[in-house]
Structure 1
Amino acid sequence: MAVVGQEEDVDHYEVLCLPSGEEGAALSLEQIEKAYRTQSRLRHPDKRPDDPSATADFQRLASSYKFLRDESLRRKFDARLRGRREAAARAAASGVKRRKAVSDLEERERAATAGQAVDAAEAAKREDKRKAADVKRELDEFFAAKQSSASGAASTSAHGAPQDGVKTDKSKILKVSWEGGADYYTAAKLEEIFKQFGKVEDIVIKTRKSRSRGSALVVMASKETAQSALENHSVYNVFPVPLIVAPMQESGSVPARSTLTPEARKSNAGGTGFSDLESSVFRKLQEAQKRKQSG
């Protein structure tokens, strides 16, 4: 077990599935003890015999509980979290400016290509269609990537004929969404939350997110573990940004394994992705201007 307090990136409140930040700092010792007892019952290795990470997860739970019981360590930890929140707020403000710049560049590109102002109602209609197409495309890519991975290992039937595909119950797949900041939950953070109910096979974050709402697909190892995640909905309400979890419902032909990389699940709204988009938009603007002059 790691020495208590030396894991700088660990949020000990979140490990116990408690609210962090100012709410966490206001929690009483009795509330922390109650949360520990609840999580101990849910996450004990005996309850998860098929999860190889169960023991390490339970040790992390015990370590965070021991840490938060120490008043001196807890006060220092609360101060460190407060500093992180202030830094995150400054970064978020910078991110809003950057996204606004991207939006302005895209609008200038559309105006230069069209040669006139776009009707607001028509633009809104096109945007709605684009968002709907993006959702369908992401789902298609998700299932197609799994089908491609599974095709190399497809088995044959008793008569020697290859099977058409791998049948998987879609009730293993959970639709997860949240309000109040699309970037709040990462794939790693969602996996930490849902693996308390059993093995998590895959998590896909939507690559095109709205500014205020995020969503993801969580693929559990079995429909039983997915059902357990659905039934324990009260767990998701303890976070500062609550999760909304719903089933996929119907069954169908779903591939068995995803080939999406963690990098492919993340948005490229900032950093290198922003620079690439900026260069692309300026290049297209120049090309449009040349075509206009030559015409």
Structure 2
Amino acid sequence: MDDNVDHYLFLGLPSGEEGSKLSEKEITKAYRLKALELHPDKRPDDPNAPANFQKLQTSYHVLKDEKARKLFDDLLRAKRHKLQRDSQQDSKRRRMMSDLEERERSFFTNNSSAKARSEEDIIARKLKEEINRIRAMHANKMAYNTPNVSPLKKESVDGGKSGTGGGVSAAEKETMLKVSWETSGVDYTAQRLRELFETIGSVKDVVIRSSKKKRSALIVMATKEAAVAATGTVLGDYSNPLLVIPLQPAGPTDFRTAREPVKPDPQLSADLVGTRYQAFEDSVLQKLQKAAERQK
């Protein structure tokens, strides 16, 4: 794919000189539309869906990276010039009037073709190096699209038992958020959740888990600060709001006594509705009771 694919056309964009003038905003818009079409969630019966979606992400990151995009534009330009030269040379050959002229033109044609091939090979090799660099840089972001790659798929969405478990450290858990919503009303895909939480900060991974009555997801933010900011900020659709809580709470250091009543955060209370807030409050009370038992 790296040598022959036209990354502009793969995203549904015009190629050539017109493509080289496209803004980053236009490229991102085209990528998001194409991602909705090729996302594995939209093609559950297509075994090639994860691979095709990964190719789409590669094309997007090539065009989004300034250095890689310039190399790719240079490669397309070199190919166009080579085709033009070949076309002109073919036309000239048809007008040749003597064997001498034929030999002379053949000599210059061979040199020109060799030079064109050499230029194309150099640019193609540099572009391939940039693509490998971009793939390595974005490997973690694309892992959730490939089966049995993301370590989060081995983690329970509900956070599991106490302790790090599953190879995830306590510090990593501080960047994780548990998100839940009802099955009725507007539903949320992994792509939609990623878009909502990326308004706060960079999202490293999204893993969705569903049941008959409720759906939930594990969101991994890039930093602990982004996870804290997203809690109580990302609400989702009004018809089916999201319940966002940290996967790993702050711990018992904020509890003065086991019998002291817990006052819910007013901002958090505004974000949790109906039975969801009651469930959250019950969870906090259970943690207080456990903390009190440990202090005895």
Q: Structure 2-normalised TM-score?
A: 0.29
Q: Structure 1-normalised TM-score?
A: 0.29
